[in-house]
Amino acid sequence: MILTIDVGNTRIKGAVFEGNILVEDFVFMKTEHEKKIQNILNKYKKVTHLVISSVGFLEKESFLHYNEELNVHFMSHKDAFPFVNKYATPQTLGIDRMVLAAGATLQYPNQNRLVIDVGTCITYDFIDENDTYLGGAIAPGLRLRYESLHNYTAKLPLLTSQNPDYFIGKSTAESIHSGVVNGFVYEIDGFIDEYKAHYSNFIIILTGGDTDFLAKRLKNTIFANSNFLLESLNQTFQYKIKND
């Protein structure tokens, strides 16, 4: 069994896999990671590999003591990936984006793929039907947009995400929700339309913490999977083992 761990900017997500079957997934705060991971290992004693992808501020040393009982692997740019990387600055490409691209390549062969990850940031990653990674885009996520309105103005309140069923905000709070959420959705649909105008034979994968919140608001047809990064970690690691 494999335990995959994704260390994000705000939270840690994990999942236990038996082959390609996701047995159970987990979400917890970084401050809880030692206790939570140990609880998972106590429950699933057949776990032999711990596979980690990290873009957050958590030192590798936090996981190295698991080497005593597990094979610990940190995904890195040196690993084998199932695509040709045409990014102009490959060493600056986040490992999470590389893993997502790998998962899309492995799960959806012979077609153009756009992976949209909606978390603290929203990232767009495009892999063409010839398994070439071409790049994408990075923009602030929903939470950052709400926080920026509060932090960089004198009087606007800090709100939590709310799905507006209106276009015209009739109060300050409604105006913020309309601007942030509707603007976010229009942005995503606009990016998708631009890709579709240039490429056919297309699949769009939406993932990340805000997947369920956004999926039904998009006008484009998407494949929504909030656990796609964890699944991709598992598949990319298995690909690495076979191709090292």
By CB neighbour count within 10 A (0-12 exposed, 13-18 middle, 19+ buried), where does 62 fall? Answer: middle
Asked whether the beta carbons of 139 and 121 are under 8 A apart, the reply is yes
Helix, strand, coil share (%) of the chain residues, nearest 5: 40, 25, 35
Name 231's Cβ contacts closer than 8 Å, sequence gap at least 6: 15, 17, 20, 22, 103, 107, 225
Distance from C-alpha of 101 to C-alpha of 181, rounded to nearest angstrom? 26
Find the catalytic residue in 96, 117, 125, 210: 96
131: annotated active-site residue: no
Asked whether the beta carbons of 100 and 232 are under 8 A apart, the reply is yes
Tokens of 20: 């390609």
Asked whether the beta carbons of 19 and 3 are under 8 A apart, the reply is no
Strand order in 21-29's β-sheet?
21-29, 11-18, 2-7, 49-54, 71-74
Q: Count other Cβ atoms within 10 Å, centred on residue 77.
A: 12
Give catalytic residue positions: 96
